[in-house]
């Protein structure tokens, strides 16, 4: 096997979980997930030469993966009806803790740009880093995150009230 391929496989070995998670967050259908996974791997491979280790490997993987997935969704939106992409298909999140339902709701209800924002926030990136990955301004990141947090609070309170009443 070529040295470059070996190096690539070794580099992304521990990042497959990130790629697969992102594919599952954005695509409810397993065939679409596989498709997206292949696209992301190809893009990572194509841009592997440009990765010089200036940024952390995971940051590079997140950057390429999110950009590839968002581009794929934009292309799909041109050819597929909008309903299919934003429909309420259940995202199978194999979690066992109490936050499973909430994470599920968030992932289903956010638009594709906000999903990326929330995922990067949950990953622990700071606003400046998120801004660089998503190619937006840190102010924009902060504003959008605050809006999402307020929405989340509201939704959670409504859900809690409904549970208490039943």
Partner 1 sequence: MQLEDLKNSWHQYKFLNSINRCSSSEILAIIEGEVDKTDLRVKRFVGNLVMVLAIIMICQGG
Q: Which of 42, 6, 44, 36 is nearest to 20 (CA)?
A: 36
Written as six digits, the tokens of 63 are: 């950057």
| 7 forms part of the interface with partner 1 (CB under 8 A) | no
Q: What is the dihedral angle through the alpha carbons of 20, 23, 48, 15, rounded to the nearest 10 degrees? A: -20
| 45 forms part of the interface with partner 1 (CB under 8 A) | yes
> Within a 10 A sphere around the Cβ of 133, how many other Cβ atoms?
22
How is 57-125 classified by DSSP, letter by letter? HHHHHHHHHHHHHHHHHHHHHHHS-HHHHHS-PPP-----STTHHHHHHHHHHS-HHHHHHHHHHHHT-
| 130 forms part of the interface with partner 1 (CB under 8 A) | no
Closer CB to partner 1, 75 or 100, in the complex: 100
- Convert residues 70-89 into a mask of x (bound to partner 1 by CB under 8 A) and - (unbound): --------------------
Closer CB to partner 1, 17 or 53, in the complex: 17
- Convert residues 89-128 into a mask of x (bound to partner 1 by CB under 8 A) and - (unbound): ----xxxxx-xx-xx--x-----------xx-xxxx----
Closer CB to partner 1, 53 or 94, in the complex: 94
> Within a 10 A sphere around the Cβ of 92, how many other Cβ atoms?
9
Residue numbers at the binding site for partner 1 (CB under 8 A): 1, 5, 8-9, 12-14, 16-18, 20-21, 24, 37-38, 41-42, 45-46, 93-97, 99-100, 102-103, 106, 118-119, 121-124, 145, 148-149, 152-153, 156
């Amino acid at each position: 096997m070529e040295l470059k391929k070996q190096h690539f496989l070794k580099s992304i070995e521990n990042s497959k979980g990130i790629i697969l998670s992102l594919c599952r967050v954005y695509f409810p259908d397993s065939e679409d997930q596989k498709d997206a996974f292949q696209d992301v791997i190809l893009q990572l491979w194509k841009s592997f030469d440009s990765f010089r280790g200036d940024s952390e490997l995971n940051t590079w993987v997140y950057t390429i993966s999110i950009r590839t997935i968002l581009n794929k969704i934009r292309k799909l939106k041109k050819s597929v009806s909008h309903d299919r992409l934003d429909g309420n298909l259940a995202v199978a999140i194999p979690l066992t803790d109490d936050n499973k339902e909430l994470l599920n709701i968030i992932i289903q209800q956010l638009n594709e740009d906000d999903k990326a924002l929330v995922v990067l926030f949950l990953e622990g990136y700071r606003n400046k880093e998120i801004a660089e990955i998503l190619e937006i301004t840190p102010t924009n990141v902060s504003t959008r995150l605050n809006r999402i947090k307020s929405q989340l609070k509201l939704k959670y309170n409504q859900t809690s009230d409904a549970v208490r009443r039943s």
